Structure 1
Amino acid sequence: MKLTASKLNQFLFFKLPSAFICGVRVKEIDETQCTVSVKHRWINQNPFNSMYFAVQAMAAELTTGALVMYQIQKSGKKISMLVANNKGNFTKKATGRISFVCKDGYLIERAIQQTIATGEGQTFWMKSIGTDEKGNQVSEMDFEWSVRLK
């Protein structure tokens, strides 16, 4: 079963309902990149009339995590995944539709090959950039993922 945007959105509904209710949706995914979109609405706003930082973090993490899931599925091995660390930088008020993109899929394939070859866990950092409808960057988030054989 190939991992698609539609299947990931179903996964959100059943396994991450808070993200689904806040409007986080996967738009596209392939081996190297993932795009997730979320629109600023009443349900996901902060007191300053912009998108709450945690909603941005959910969308940004999903871009990276979906790519990890994609590569794990592609490997055919039982591999666990975990966020070990994260950091974020917010540069502009997030209003309107915000799109997060991660283009670090190539990092995961190498880490998974390494963990399969050595049996040791691997860690790697992935970046997700959030931009508004005008193309202005609103946030940048980095997630350190850990993968290891089960």
Structure 2
Amino acid sequence: MDLQRLKANLGLRLFAWRYIPLIGFCGPVIERMDERALRIRMPLGWRTRNHLGSMYFGALATGADLVGGLLVMEKGRARGKKVHFAFKDVQGDFLKRPEGDVQFDCAAGAAIDAMIDDSLASGQRINRPIEVVATCPSLSGDEPVARFTLTLSIKAS
């Protein structure tokens, strides 16, 4: 694991346990992070498994929320700007039972940059949808097990 990801994962753990313990309880790991996209892995285990042996709906929603939120936080940090954000709504399509570790990918980096620019220029809150794709590589490769559309609301200053 490279130093940047090591620092990011430590920061994620500290943030989760201090502010949103449920995230820390699920044990996510940042797998990939760049200016365009972010990938986290949520392990399937006793904390995230449902009665059918697949990942629990709440853990899937947590992963989708987390990957989108971390990308926004990283964008704000990289620019040195305060970026206040929330998710106004979420739509989830659950396509297959994820019976292994789940990867959550969000490639909305460019869209988030544009939202931050628009908010800084207008002084207003900007709302736009972002996409998150969940896969279970150990069982179905790159085939999605779930797709999420989250309406991201950003106010930058």
Give your verdict on TM over 0.5: yes
| 2:129 equivalent to 1:147 | no
Mapping for residues 34-53 of structure 1, pairs under 5 Å:
34-53=38-57
| 2:107 equivalent to 1:103 | yes
- How many equivalent pairs are there? 149
The match for 2:89 is 85
| 2:28 equivalent to 1:21 | no
Which sections of structure 1, spanning at least 5 residues, go unmatched? none
Does the CA-based 8 Å contact 2:68-2:132 persist in structure 1? Answer: yes
Does the CA-based 8 Å contact 1:36-1:60 persist in structure 2? Answer: no
C-alpha displacement of 1:71: 1.3
Mapping for residues 50-89 of structure 1, pairs under 5 Å:
50-89=54-93
C-alpha displacement of 1:149: 3.7
The AA in structure 1 aligned to 2:94 is F
C-alpha displacement of 1:141: 0.9
Question: TM-score if structure 2 supplies the norm length?
Answer: 0.86
Question: TM-score if structure 1 supplies the norm length?
Answer: 0.90
The percent identity for this pair of structures is 26
RMSD: 1.8
Which sections of structure 2, spanning at least 5 residues, go unmatched? none
Distance 1:143 1:88 in 2: 9
Of 11-20 and 56-65, more deviation after overlay is shown by: 11-20
Q: Which runs of 4+ in 1 moved over 6 A?
A: none
Question: SS of 1:44's equivalent?
Answer: coil
The AA in structure 2 aligned to 1:147 is I
Does the CA-based 8 Å contact 1:6-1:26 persist in structure 2? Answer: no
C-alpha displacement of 1:38: 1.1
Distance 2:88 2:37 in 1: 21
Distance 2:132 2:13 in 1: 18
C-alpha displacement of 1:111: 0.7
Distance 1:41 1:64 in 2: 23
